[in-house]
Amino acid sequence: MSETAGLRSVVESQRLNALLAWLLVGLLLVAAGVNLVERHPVWAGVTATVAVLALIPAIRYRDPLTMLPWEVLLVASLPIIGRTFVVGQRVGGITLTGRVTTYLAVAAVALVIAVELDAFTTVRMNRAFALLFVVVTTTAAAGVWAVVQWTSDLYLGTSLLLDGRPEEVVETELMWDFVAATATGVLAGLLFEYYFRRRARTGARVAREGRES
């Protein structure tokens, strides 16, 4: 089994997998609605986008049972759902933030995009390139988000970055954002590499046992 075949094989057609995947899509849609009601249109859009990405296999094959593995969707969904319902809560006097979970969500979404590009378009990538794509995309997302915050502060009067703190404090926070994004991307890449290798070995063993029986 080639690496590319292993990457494409994550698109499954199993009833249990489809049920769990659809449940996660439902939770994402609820989270999108909550973000919209609470006037967080950016996160509402991000959440809805992840839900749409999750539905592409079913739409492409016109089969509701054809979905990405629920484990991949779970990793992509939990950070977003957690950010919707947990961020801002206080535990032991500490306010919970969504910095790392945000980048983990970006990493998972980047992998979903890589899988679907490989499975449904003429683009072909092996696992190594797909995982590099995850790391680079996650780190780049931190840079894009920094530019978005800075532009919003300048032209929309927000205080996402330019909130009166000394310039060196803001710069230090940005650098830690880049570190967190890169570390999260690498961690997600390693976890997904293990996941794909395990699936490839399982698929090869099942095929071999099928030929022998």
pLDDT recorded at residue 93: 45
18-21's contacts with Cβ under 8 Å and 24+ in sequence apart are 18/58, 18/64, 18/65, 18/66, 18/67, 20/70, 20/73, 20/74, 21/54, 21/67, 21/68, 21/69, 21/70, 21/73
What contacts 181, CB < 8 A, 6 or more positions away? Answer: 103, 106, 138, 139, 141, 142
> Mean pLDDT of residues grouped by 10 in the chain (213 residues)?
50 78 93 84 82 90 85 80 62 50 74 76 75 82 80 78 80 82 79 64 50 57
Token pair belonging to 68: 């990405």
